[in-house]
Amino acid sequence: MTKEKKDPANQTHNEQENILDLILYNDEVNTFEFVIETLIEVCKHNPEQAEQCALLAHIKGRCPVKNGAADILIPMKSEMTLRGLTVTIE
């Protein structure tokens, strides 16, 4: 039995570099102001970027708010979860 080699040309950019996304989900609990404030403080967004992400999460149900390595995203996810936001790393 031989191992199948993965062709880098068939991998997505994220798979090639182990880049993950921190996904914010819409909820009916937190205010836009609170979500925007959290994105600015935790993810280091500027106010416009934070507002756009909050709006996209509200409209589409979810929005990728940050991407990077797991060791960067895990503490952000933990802090956002502690603040009552629903987030995942994918």
Q: Would you state the pLDDT for residue 85? A: 98
Token pair belonging to 23: 């996904």
- How buried is 90 (Cβ within 10 angstroms: 0-12 exposed, 13-18 middle, 19+ buried)? exposed
Going from N- to C-terminal start, the domains of the chain cover 31-89
- The pLDDT of residue 68: 98
Instruction: Enter the pTM of the model.
Output: 0.81
pLDDT at 33: 98
- Residue 4's pLDDT is what? 47
User: b or e along 6-41 (b: 16 or more beta carbons within 10 Å of the residue's beta carbon)?
Assistant: eeeeeeeeeeeeeebbbbbebeeebeeeebbbbbee
What pLDDT sits at residue 16?
A: 55
Query: How much is the pLDDT for 31?
Result: 97
Question: How far apart are alpha carbons 31 and 15 in whole angstroms?
Answer: 34
Confidence at residue 40, expressed as pLDDT on a 0 to 100 scale: 98
Read off the tokens for 3: 């191992």
Q: What is the rounded distance in angstroms from the CA atom of residue 17 to the CA atom of residue 3?
A: 21
- pLDDT < 50 positions in the chain: 1-5, 14
